[in-house]
Amino acid sequence: MYRFTAAAGDSVFRTTTPRSNLDTVIGVYTTAGRLVASNDDISGTNTDSRVKVNLASGRTTSA
């Protein structure tokens, strides 16, 4: 889990797990713990995770 502070205006948070044997889940949360976006599997045959979301300025936590 890590935190970052989005710049003023909209920011884009995007992350992808590298192809591997891991079956990951990605989630982006507000500091209040509200889920903003998440992804488990990119597709039925690709268990990597990827999420892209436009964020307002402020602090965000990602797990």
**pTM attached to this predicted model:** 0.64
CA–CA–CA angle 11, 22, 29 (5° rounding): 30
Tokens encoding 19:
């192809």
Give residue for tokens 């307002």. Answer: 56
Is 28:49 a contact under the CB 8 Å cutoff?
A: no
Per-residue pLDDT, 63: 57
Output the tens digit of pLDDT for each of the chain's 63 residues.
777 777 766 555 556 666 677 787 888 887 788 898 888 888 888 888 888 777 776 665 555
Residue 46, classified by CB atoms within 10 Å of its CB into exposed (0-12), middle (13-18) or buried (19+), is exposed
Residue ranges of the domains in the chain? 2-62
